[in-house]
Structure 1
Amino acid sequence: MLKKGKQKDRQKQKADELRERQRVVAEIARQETARLEEERIEQERREAQEVATRKAEENNWRKGFLTHTWRILNRCQKDLTIIKEKKSQTRQFNWQMRTDGLPNTLSIPELNAFRTRWKDVSDSAEPTIERVIERYPEAVRVVTDIDDLLSDLEEMSEEKLNMLIRLRFQIAKLLTDEVDLLTIMLLQDISLFYDEEKGKSSLEIVEEEFSIGLGVENIFNEDAQIQLHSFERIGVFATFPTYLVNKKIPFVLRIFWQKRSHQWDMPRVNEVKTWPTISQSVSLDEMLKVILTENPPIAPKPKESSALDIELFLLVGGVIIIDLFELLDQPKRSKYYTVTVVKEMNRPVKSSFSSDYTPLPPPDPRADPEDIEKELKLHEKEMDRVLISITIKLSKSILWLEAPKIVQWDFAEKAWKMTGVWDTRFKEPDSGNAASVTFRLEKGAVIQAAIQRRTNLPLTSWTLKPIAPKTQAKRTDKDGKDEKEDGEAEDDAPKKWMGGGGGAFGDEMIGMSSDSEDEEEEVLIDEEELQNGPPAAYLSIIGAVVTLDIDLEGNETCLRNAKNGPDIILEDLFMKKMTATQLIETLRSRGLEIAPSPAVRRSMDELPKKHSSVELHSYKGIALAAASRRFTFAWSRWNFNAGNRNMVLQVQGPEGVKGGQHQLIHISPEQCKYLACTEVSQALDLETIQEKTEPKADILNLLMDDANEQTTEKIKNAPADFVETLYTLLASVAPLSTS
């Protein structure tokens, strides 16, 4: 028993010793873990402190350079404030002192009085064609003025804004109501516009702002069946479904084409504030924060919808209202008298015809070709039976670079829809004939043509060059001689040639030539003018389909040349002075988008995705540098594959600025630098910088670093209106992310 007790005590003692050793080992391990954790935390703290210190040093380094940019922009912003105030005062004065009899757009009472007078005239007398032709442009002008005011609002109460929008729609609707009244009056006696040659009653009114066409089934010959109505002057041809024709019910087709300022145009409130501008004042810290802000995550693509995405499509050509009217009793004429049946509500009403078409299933592609052809003919026959076929000759003033999409207005959802339009076929222009589109409708509708905004993307090249101001440049004749005024003497001042508006520094840059340059007039300018003249620039944009050459001077731009392949287009716009935004909007109305929105760019995988805030800041620097008329900028083939945070472009400076050679500039959120590689190098090297150069915070400071004093002074005193115009155009076109 004693031995067993001692043995148990020894076992217990050993167990206690083992537990103690385990506790000690665990405690040592815990202390070691705690020590390592403390060291890790301390290391992370030191690293974070080093990163913060390095970041603060980098930010201070950036601020040192950005201060120059910020001061120049701040001075431009103050100048722009004065310019915009004068522009606003001029606009208000012109509206208040207008002598055309139209209301002051800023006055709600005057707009209300205009609407009331219009309605009083409409209610007091039957409409006539002459009255509609006379009054229609007046209302269009008023609606256009309201749109201009809404797009560039100053301080205005929400109540007044809502009243202005409501009045805009009410006045626009007066146009439709006036034409409805005219239609009702004309259809009281269709014999007044009976066309003996066509054997039916047909009327066409074609004006600059609108067109009206009326085609009436021949009720004077009961055996005649008219299925095709052609409005050749308007350019619309309609074929009625056999189902409707066989009913032998007299009906009327009305085509009402509104070219602009109609009630289906959505007012773009304060749109001017959405355009890129340098006028928004920011502090130096805010400027730095914006530059370092990363791009937001790309939103997922929206689900398929029948509604037209206005961000991705342009609506062009105005709206066409296609209506069917039922025709009631007509006057009965004899040799000696006319009998008119007068009834309450004896007026034509819109037909309730609607086919509710369901397309047949497509033929089996594995079937015999003859069977497929037979089935397709059955499809065609079914559509002929129940659908209205419309053919429209498309305007020659609009660029139909692809087949348009025909959309119709949904009155319930107040949106343009892609449903209800069948069998759309596009015929390209040929032999001088206009393009045309044919489609089928289930019923009367309000339709419009839509074109993709991405048609001219991606850009294949772009160039920005200094040119001689229009006020100073001397155009040369075909023999290369100056066009001088009579008695003007030759001077001996040194001159430089600027072929096609660019190339002030000799050889063209690689990849910077425009197809149109050889056909442009040459500009001969004095060296003194190059040094001291006001800034002017030339922007060439070579797109996927269309090439544009644009001149800029002061706050104005003008289209110098436009080509679609070998064909010159848009000639009526050449050399017309416009603001940058007016030029963009005018080109949009012609079916060409040169300022794609971020939504358009995101929808295209073939476009590079760049750091947007750095890109916009770089355009400010380019615009300021261009004001010196000493730099040329252009597309680089390396830009596309440089990466999302990197942008690469070519720059050519004057002699003395990097020797006037072609340089590659690399722009990133961290810095901007000259690269050692060139446009013709075998590979792009973003790390090796050019000898005797140092990175700077942005492109403006990089360009100013080696510029002479005169060039630097020109940049510091750059005219605000020119910088604003060029920046708006560059930031809208976004050549660094669309090429």
Structure 2
Amino acid sequence: MTISSLVPVQLPKQLQHMKYKVQYRAPSPPPPGVTRTPEEIEAEIKKVEAEYEKLALVFIELPQDVMWSEPPVICQWYEPRQLWISTYINDYKFNEDKLTVQFRTGVLWPIGIATLRYSNMPFQGWDIRPDPNSPGVIISVTGVCVTATWLCVGNTVRLRWIANATTPALTEHFEKPYSVKKMIQLMREAACDFFPDFDAHNHIEGSCPKEWVAERHTYHAMAFLSRAYNFQWSRWNVSAGSRNIVMQIREAVDRKREAKFQLLHTTPQRATILKCNELSQELNLEPLAGLQFYPDLFTLNMSYGSVDARRAAFNMKYKLVETVFSMLQELKLCSYS
């Protein structure tokens, strides 16, 4: 048999390892006042396009189970130092309508998509009131991007609604009972975090961390009275300082006779109702005339509240009190609104 009679055999195609690494950063725009000729601008554009051609073009459709309130941050995993970097990311484009990202990269490392954890803070407003259709308590919090509403019933909390959401994330969990811990986990996984950590004030502008013992005690009193009162945020709270908590309060026992909101002022030493209100020109911490000394909100209600409001506090179920308290403690409404 001669060599010419042999039939050539086609080897199967297979992936071959190839080193690829291109580091490029697009030039920054010229400083203000510097003028360039059209020829210079065109030459620079062509140069940038030529460099971009060397980079890998990546197109990603963002998942719908995450709320993309702001453009996500693209990063890549740098194995030698065990950290995420964005050194090789160029020509980043985010399509808010189609929820897609496009960018060029000079390395084919694992890609990560990150969001700002506290993009919904500081809170723009909040409201706590008894649910008229169940023996529960409604907590509604308005963030920078979305508004979340929960219903606390017994030892469970239900996500009722999320307004202004950019994706259908979390809709599958609406009206389903969860523990407070599980609810926090679900919302954080969907990049809809309303639950700041102990050091969140270092990352959020416009917050005013309150004295923690007084804040925690106030949350417990609010939980006890959550079926008798309607609590709302006050614009005076942030500027009041760390030892002063200011919020709006009114009785909500009788739906037919809806009272007007008053300003509640609590400190580590006392709780009182202020003379001024939310619409006053300036905050005046002078209490109502004739109001006695009350060490906290609960004792204030025992003397200042109506008979129905006092009775409602003693009729509260322990499980509901602890659920509302846990939610308030995790939300930290007084420190971040």
Regarding TM over 0.5, the answer is yes
Q: Distance in 2 between matches of 1:363 and 1:562?
A: 40
Q: Is the 8 Å Cα contact of residues 159 and 176 (structure 2) preserved in structure 1?
A: yes
Q: Is the 8 A contact 2:26 2:48 kept in 1?
A: yes
In the alignment, residue 418 of structure 1 is paired with which amino acid? S
Q: Which amino acid aligns with 1:672?
A: A
1:422 and 2:86 are equivalent in the alignment: no
The yes-or-no answer on 1:380 pairing with 2:46 is no
Aligned to 2:3: none
Aligned CA distance change for structure 1 residues 382 and 631 (closer, same or farther; 3 Å):
same
SS class of match (1:538): strand
Per the alignment, residue 274 of structure 2 pairs with: 675
Is contact 1:549–1:559 with CA below 8 Å preserved after alignment? yes
Query: Which residue of 2 is the match for residue 396 of structure 1?
Result: 64
Q: 3-state DSSP class of the match of 2:138? A: strand
Are 2:152 and 1:552 aligned?
A: yes
Larger radius of gyration: 1
CA offset digits 1:36-87 (Å, max 9, x no partner):
xxxxxxxxxxxxxxxxxxxxxxxxxxxxxxxxxxxxxxxxxxxxxxxxxxxx
Aligned mates of 1:634, 1:548 — CA distance in 2: 15
Aligned to 2:123: 459
Output one character per residue of 1:585-633: Cα deviation in whole Å (capped at 9) or x when no partner.
222222211112243322233223422332222111111221xx11111
Deviation of 1:390 after TM superposition, in Å, equals 0.5
What 5-or-longer segments of structure 1 have no aligned partner? 1-336, 471-534
Match of 1:359 in 2: 25
| Cα deviation code 1:474-510 (max 9, x no counterpart) | xxxxxxxxxxxxxxxxxxxxxxxxxxxxxxxxxxxxx
State the distance in 2 between where 1:369 and 1:734 align.
55
1:125-524 correspondence runs (5 A)? 348=15, 351-359=17-25, 361-362=27-28, 364-365=30-31, 366-368=34-36, 370=38, 371-385=40-54, 387-429=55-97, 434-468=98-132, 470=134
Distance 1:415 1:701, change over 3 A: farther
Q: Which of 599, 610, 618 pairs up with 2:210?
A: 610
1:540 aligns with 2:209: no
Q: Secondary structure in 2 aligned to 1:561?
A: strand
Distance in 1, matches of 2:22 and 2:292, equals: 71
> Which deviates further from its counterpart, 539-548 or 695-704?
695-704
Distance 1:362 1:391 in 2: 24
Aligned with residue 701 of structure 1, among 299, 320, 327: 299
1:593 aligns with 2:193: yes
| Alignment-derived partner of residue 56 in structure 1 | none
Matched ranges for 1:65-84 at <5 A: none
Which amino acid letter does the alignment assign opposite residue 224 of structure 2?
A: L
Letter in 1 for 2:41: I
RMSD: 3.0
Tell whether the 8 Å contact from 2:76 to 2:110 is kept in structure 1 after alignment: yes
Comparing both structures, which one devotes a greater share of its residues to helix?
Answer: 1
In structure 2, C-alpha distance between the alignment counterparts of 1:377 and 1:425, rounded to whole Å: 19
Residues in 2 aligned to 1:358 and 1:444: alpha-carbon distance in whole angstroms: 14
Whether the 8 Å CA contact 1:353–1:443 is kept in 2: the answer is no
8 Å CA contact retained: 2:232, 2:248: yes
**Aligned counterpart in structure 2 of residue 624 of structure 1, from 214, 220, 224:** 224
Q: Classify 1:426/1:614 alpha carbon distance in 2 versus 1 (closer, same or farther; 3 Å).
A: same
Contact kept in structure 2, 1:363 and 1:376, CA below 8 Å: no
* Distance 1:729-1:655 versus aligned 2 partners, 3 A rule: closer
CA apart distance, 1:559: 1.9
Q: Could you tell me which amino acid in structure 1 is paired with residue 208 of structure 2?
A: P
Conserved? CA contact 1:561–1:568, under 8 Å: no
* TM-score after normalising by structure 2: 0.85
**Counterpart residue type for residue 232 of structure 2:** A
Residues 682, 442 of structure 1: CA spacing in aligned structure 2 closer, same or farther, 3 A cutoff? same
> What SS class does the counterpart of residue 402 from structure 1 fall into?
coil
CA distance in 2, matches of 1:567, 1:396: 6
Contact preservation (8 Å) 2:24, 2:88 = no
Q: Tell me how far 1:425 sits from its aligned partner.
A: 1.6
Partner of 1:644: 242
Match status 1:564 vs 2:230 = no
Tell me if structure 2 keeps the 8 A contact 1:363–1:372.
no
Question: Where does the alignment leave 5 or more consecutive residues of structure 2 unmatched?
Answer: 1-6
Give the Cα–Cα distance (whole angstroms) in 1 for the partners of residues 165 and 235 of structure 2.
22
Give the distance between the partners of 1:361 and 1:569, measured in 2 at CA: 38
How has the CA–CA distance of structure 1 residues 651 and 358 changed in structure 2, closer, same or farther, with 3 Å as cutoff?
same
Q: For the Cα contact (< 8 Å) 2:26–2:90, is it kept in 1?
A: no
CA contact (8 A) 1:608 1:644 kept: yes
Cα deviation for residue 721 of structure 1 reads 2.5
Change in Cα spacing, 1:419 to 1:699, as seen in structure 2 (3 Å) is farther
1:419 maps to a residue whose letter is T
Asked whether the 8 Å contact 1:562–1:568 carries over to 2, the reply is no
Contact 1:364 1:372 in 2 (8 A): no
Distance 1:377 1:599, change over 3 A: farther
1:612/1:374 Cα in 2 relative to 1: closer, same or farther (>3 Å)? farther
Distance 2:20 2:293 in 1: 69
C-alpha contact 1:624 1:718 (8 A) present in aligned 2? yes
Q: Distance in 2 between matches of 1:572 and 1:426?
A: 26
Q: Which amino acid aligns with 2:158?
A: C
Normalised TM-score (structure 1): 0.41
User: Secondary structure in 2 aligned to 1:548?
Assistant: strand
Whole-angstrom distance in 2 between the partners of 1:691 and 1:567: 51
Q: 1:714: how far off?
A: 4.8
Kept after mapping to 2: 8 A contact 1:562/1:569: no
Deviation of residue 661 (structure 1)? 4.1
- Alignment partners' CA distance in 2, 1:420 and 1:615: 45
